[in-house]
Amino acid sequence: MTNALLFKEWKKTKWFVIGAFIVGAALLTYIFLRLGRSFRMVGMEHLWDVVINRDQFLLRELKYFPLAAGIAIAFSQFVPEVIQKRIKLSLHLPLSNKRVVFTMMGYGLSVLSLVYLLHILAILIFMGVHFPLEFIISALYTLAPWYVAGLMAYVLLAWICLEPSWKRRIFNALIMFGVLQLCFLSDFPGAYAFILFAVILLPIYILPFGYRSVERFKIGIQD
């Protein structure tokens, strides 16, 4: 039954997942080509100098990609459930509500994490070839909050979609707005170094919120 549920989620989201992967790959290709051009035009020494001594971040264009990917996948997965009330069918499966909700969200988070991991892997390989370990650590500190924002956007959008009351959806959206801001407080490379661990834990903290909305739906709350 769980496999059937997972297959249903894949059918709904596959083009968005493939799209997010392709857009991410295209964006990385563009960034790598642009950096490659800079290597040839100004030389590696100059590039290292602007990163080390002028605090420039070479992968700034990636900032909103994880967020957009998270929103797109959550949108493709949960909006049809709401519009066509398909969630009713899913909740009538011979599985506990908790299992249904967390399987759906687990699927979404897994495919999103897979897209992100492939993305980060490509970045690590590129940076490992051209830059020392210190650059890579700084880049990961800078990129991590943006990718966490993508995961949180997915979880919070799912929470909003699963919520049966429109009034509460507005408040949930305000929470989403506030929480996502936490990941975009500074572009300065490595600015999140002291609180990165706490930021990484945030998606786990907000993960059960969607289940709360489903429970509200089950007890008959609606506008």
Q: Give yes or no for residue 175 binding other proteins (CB under 8 A).
A: yes
DSSP secondary structure code for residue 57 in this structure:
-
Residue with tokens 């989620």: 9
Q: Give yes or no for residue 194 binding other proteins (CB under 8 A).
A: yes
Torsion of CA 35, 33, 64, 14, to 10 degrees: -150
Q: Interacting stretch for other proteins, rule CB under 8 A, among 76-84, 89-97, 118-126, 174-182? A: 174-182
The candidate with the shortest Cα–Cα distance to 216, out of 95, 106, 107, 101, is 101
Q: Interacting stretch for other proteins, rule CB under 8 A, among 26-34, 68-76, 101-109, 188-196? A: 188-196
> Residues 40-59: x/- map of binding to other proteins (CB under 8 A)?
---xxxxxxx-xxx-x----
Contacts 24+ apart (CB under 8 A), 36-43: 39/130
Helices (H), the chain: 2-42, 44-53, 65-83, 87-91, 97-130, 133-162, 166-181, 196-206, 209-218
By C-beta, is 47 or 72 nearer to other proteins?
A: 47
Helix-helix angle 133-162:209-218, to 10 degrees: 10
Q: Give yes or no for residue 106 binding other proteins (CB under 8 A).
A: no
Task: Identify the residue among 18, 134, 197, 201 touching other proteins (CB under 8 A).
Answer: 134
Q: Give yes or no for residue 102 binding other proteins (CB under 8 A).
A: no
By C-beta, is 1 or 174 nearer to other proteins?
A: 174
Task: Identify the residue among 16, 116, 147, 192 touching other proteins (CB under 8 A).
Answer: 192
Contact residues toward other proteins (CB under 8 A) are 43-49, 51-53, 55, 129-132, 134-135, 138, 141, 168, 171, 175, 178-179, 182, 185-186, 188-195, 205-206, 208-209, 211-212, 215
